[in-house]
Amino acid sequence: MPNPGNPSDGPLHPPLAALAALRAGHRRYLAGTATGSPGPAPTVAVFSCADPQPAAETLFPGVDLYVVRTAGLAVGPSVLGSLEYAVDRLGVPLVVVLGHDRCGAAAGAGDGAVRRAAALLLQRSTLLARAVTAGHCAVVGMSWRAELGRVRPVPRVAPAPAARLRSRARPPAARPAGAPR
């Protein structure tokens, strides 16, 4: 069975391909080899805090990003409209909610702020929620950890379409003749 995380096994579903590109960009950042240039259209939308942490463009070199920043990951009409535009009009398959430690703008910052912001995006935007449900887009959480000098994933942020996509990609199990449906 193909491994969705291994490009040699065939084409990835767009959200998974975008996540793989983002991770490769962050590996370039960590290695200090910020090579590669973004393509002609964004592949990832990043919703991040406006605090002076490393910018998403610095953390993910070589990845064409569509970046939206607000203080404390505040989800308002401008953020929703911008991310809906990225997903609906630009075809961006991945939205990353990027938080950070020691946020001065968000009470209870950290992973909780990332989870709350992701939940609000999906609650307040029917378009984003439908895109995630249909598997056209994924919403993932990440957090910049200054003490580690790296971005790490924030688990359990939004419904994970990747698992559903993998299960859909599997052929249905053969039923013995006469077996109940």
Per-residue pLDDT 10s for the chain (181 aa) are 333 333 344 444 588 888 888 888 888 888 877 665 656 688 999 999 887 678 888 898 888 899 999 988 999 999 999 999 999 999 999 999 998 876 655 555 678 889 999 999 999 999 999 999 999 999 999 998 888 888 899 988 766 544 444 444 443 344 445 544 4
Domain spans, the chain: 38-163
Which helix (H) or strand (E) segment holds residue 117: the answer is helix 111-124
Tell me which residue of 181, 111, 117 sits closest to 152, measured CA to CA: 111
Express the helix, strand and coil content of the chain in percent, nearest 5 each.
Answer: 40, 20, 45
Tell me the three state secondary structure of residue 115: helix
CATH of domain 38-163: 3.40.1050.10
- 150, burial (CB in 10 Å: exposed 0-12, middle 13-18, buried 19+): middle
Binding residues for Zn(2+): 49, 51, 100, 103
Tokens at 115, concatenated = 């989870």
* pTM of structure: 0.72
Rounded distance between C-alpha atoms, residue 41 and residue 110, angstroms: 30
Binding residues: 49, 51, 100, 103
